């Protein structure tokens, strides 16, 4: 049987609670890639510090910003935009798809913060 001292227990509680109090990251990074002989990448940061991702309108605004940034990044790489012929494989489509886990994480963090603040 394992016994914990009060100090060990307190340190464990503080260590597990720290992520809740950590400063939120309020920006995403969008990456684009070209498919030339010498592949290049470009990136652009997308801030959502002014958005409250609990609200649907602000979530939609974040997705709009991600799409806009992906288009800018791919334009800098001289990649063509989405078209019916690209079947979801254009630089912009891929950049947006790759950014969506960051978007989902930001939304989940916003919802978690609201739930935490209720108690």
In a domain, 41, yes or no: yes
Q: Percentage of the chain with pLDDT > 70?
A: 77
d(CA 28, CA 96): 11
Q: Is residue 19 part of a domain?
A: no
Residues with Cβ within 8 Å of 28's Cβ and at least 6 positions away in sequence, in order, are: 45, 46, 48, 66, 99, 102, 103, 106
Q: Does the residue 2 lie in any domain? A: no
Structural domain containing residue 31: 24-118
pTM of the model: 0.72
- Is 32 part of a structural domain of the chain? yes
**Does any domain span residue 114?**
yes
Give domain status of residue 63, yes or no. Answer: yes
Least confident range from 3-7, 48-52, 58-62: namely 3-7
Task: Check: CB of residue 66 under 8 Å from CB of residue 32.
Answer: no
Q: How many domains does the structure of the chain reveal?
A: 1
């Amino acid at each position: 049987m394992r016994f914990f001292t009060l100090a060990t227990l307190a340190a464990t509680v503080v260590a597990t609670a720290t992520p809740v109090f950590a400063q939120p990251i309020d920006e995403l990074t969008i990456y684009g890639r070209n498919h030339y002989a010498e592949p290049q990448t470009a990136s652009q940061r997308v801030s959502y510090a002014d958005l409250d991702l609990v609200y649907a309108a602000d979530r939609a605004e974040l997705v709009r910003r991600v799409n806009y940034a992906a288009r800018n990044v791919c334009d800098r790489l001289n990649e063509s935009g989405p078209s019916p012929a690209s079947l979801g494989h254009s630089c912009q489509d891929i950049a947006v798809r790759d950014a969506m886990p960051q978007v989902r994480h930001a939304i989940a963090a916003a919802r978690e913060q609201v739930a935490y603040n209720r108690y």
